[in-house]
Amino acid sequence: MRLAVFDLDNTLLAGDSDYLWGRFLVDAGVVERDVYERENERFYRQYQAGTLDIHEYAAFALRPLIEHELSQMLELRRRFVDEQIAPIVAAQAPALLARHRAQGDQLIITTATNRFVTEPIADLLGVDHLLATDPEIVDGIYTGRISGIPNFQGGKVSRLRAWIDAQTAPCSYMSCYSDSHNDIPLLEMADTAVAVDADPILEELAGKRGWQRISLRTPA
């Protein structure tokens, strides 16, 4: 089994779905603008710096799923993907995904962003396998907590290894793509590591390690 593993935000997307979802909820009047924008920006800066407390962030990001009817949130999510996500799919991402499919690779998206936000984005991109941070659901109700291991930093490695172990065929080759230094542990487990529109820390490390460096944002 050959795997092609892709980070989502700022890799396959030319933007951050988690951050944009927060802004979308503000514009839709679902959350209080001043408080949410301030906290959303604070957590985003922590993510960029590699200091994010994923559990604290999850309690913040999942709160609208607790405070509002699920039917309302599902309709907002549908609009969000159509209006905010489809336009920011990186220009060369569909061709890259198609190339790996043509090679017979199994495609996986692995993202720290929660499954509620990212599941329809994986569908949009035609990727069947999604590893995301899973919100806890008890008796059909979101609790605001994370279920299991957060799919973040080293957690991405643990979750991916568990997924591979659950398959009937062993992994014979793995390619991994990411923009973020938060994903260095993931990239280090790949046979081919590719830095995509990389942040400065990852860009420097990729140069030292001899990893491929590409952009998916410019037209082919």
The percent of residues above 90 in pLDDT, for the chain, comes to 82
Mean pLDDT of 105-129: 97
Helix axes 17-27, 54-61, angle to 10 degrees: 30
pTM of the model: 0.94
Q: Map out the domains of the chain with their CATH numbers.
A: 2-214 (3.40.50.1000)
> pLDDT-derived band of residue 161, with 50, 70 and 90 as boundaries?
very high
Structure confidence by residue, pLDDT tens digits, 163-200 = 999 999 999 999 999 999 999 999 999 999 999 999 99
Torsion sign (Cα): 13, 15, 18, 23? negative
Q: State how beta strands 129-138 and 141-147 pair.
A: antiparallel
Supply the pLDDT for residue 68. 93
Per the structure block, which two tokens stand in for 51? 């200091």
DSSP class of residue 139? Answer: T
What band does 49 get if pLDDT is binned at 50, 70 and 90? Answer: confident
Q: 48: pLDDT confidence band, cut at 50, 70 and 90?
A: confident
Contacts of 12 (CB under 8 A, 6+ apart): 6, 89, 90, 93, 97, 109, 125, 177, 216
Residues annotated as catalytic (active site), given as ranges: 7, 9
End-to-end Cα, the chain, rounded Å: 29
Query: What's the pLDDT at 180?
Result: 95
**Per-residue model confidence (pLDDT) at position 153:** 87
Residue 35 has pLDDT above 90, yes or no: no
Q: How many CA atoms lie within 13 A of 4 on its CB side?
A: 16
Q: Is 138 helix (H, G, I), strand (E, B) or coil?
A: strand
Give the integer Cα–Cα distance in Å for 45 and 209: 26
Q: Return the closest-CA partner of residue 109 out of 98, 123, 99.
A: 123
